[in-house]
Amino acid sequence: MNLSSASKSPVDLAGELAESVQYRGRKAIRQGSEQRRLGILDAALRIIVREGLRGVRHRAVAAEAGVPLSATTYYFNDIQDLIADSFALFVKRSSTSLATLWAGVEDDFRRIAAAIEGDPAARRELVAHVIDLTVAHVQAKMREHDDELLVELAFRQEALTNAVLRPLCLAHQSLRFRFAERAVLAMGSTAPYEDAQVLTTLVLRMEYHAIVDGVDDFDLGAQRTVLQRFLDLVVGS
């Protein structure tokens, strides 16, 4: 199977997920009302980063957003709606960002995949490219968007027991899998579904260690070595 015969690209899937996000709370009619609603959701996300989901309470979110308590209860009947819509906003923004990021990467994959057809040794170029992309992704999240990692981990944990969050969480996680599947397909994997699962797990592991170890203690060299070892196996080295 090659890129042209693979399933829909992760770029398209990310864009579709961003467009499909639905909110549970009261819809805003005026632009000013929409800005206030988004401000409340952003406040909830900031609290999640600092305190986890246990810190999301109407009064705490209202104080964080600088709005009256009545504003949070107007838009969100209960705390579950507020949490669900905070996650929905996170997924919408994250998916939009991923679609933009992957658009350029898709062109690179197609170029390298075409080269591989004429020279199988070109798989080494793709392996190096995927490793560089993965490392750059984790480093960016560590240094510039570490809040995003914390929010994603918090919601992933909550989705284990929250049936409302689970479908959106799974859809968001599937974007990672589709990108990994695209990469291993281009490398010539004979078991792309299984290899994509392993690659996705390795990236999640890197992100987890990035948070736990911190920027100063994160062993980037060791993480690269693990990725290199696995992708060498994928291309049959």
- Please provide the size of the chain in residues: 237
- H-helix segments, 52-165: 58-65, 69-75, 79-118, 123-143, 146-159
Kindly tell me the sign of the dihedral angle through the C-alpha atoms of 114, 116, 122, 123.
Answer: positive
Kindly tell me the sign of the dihedral angle through the C-alpha atoms of 110, 115, 120, 123.
Answer: negative
| pLDDT for residue 153 | 86
- Report d(CA 102, CA 11) in Å as an integer: 6
- For 111, residues 6+ apart whose C-beta sits below 8 A from its C-beta are none
189 three-state secondary structure: coil
Q: Give one DSSP letter per residue of 124-137, joined into a string.
A: HHHHHHHHHHHHHH
Phi/psi for 131 (5° steps) reads -65, -45
Of the candidates 117, 124, 103, 90, the residue with the CA atom closest to the CA atom of residue 182: 103
Q: Which structure tokens are listed for 218?
A: 């994160």
pLDDT in tens, the chain (237 residues): 344 434 577 788 888 888 888 888 888 777 778 899 999 999 999 999 999 999 999 999 999 999 999 999 999 989 999 999 999 999 999 888 888 878 777 777 777 777 777 777 777 888 888 888 888 878 777 766 568 888 888 998 999 998 989 999 999 988 889 888 888 888 888 899 999 999 999 988 888 887 777 767 778 888 889 999 999 898 875
Domains located in the chain, CATH noted: 3-21+90-235 (1.10.357.10), 26-76 (1.10.10.60)
Contact present, 176 and 141 (Cβ < 8 Å): no
The pTM is what? 0.81
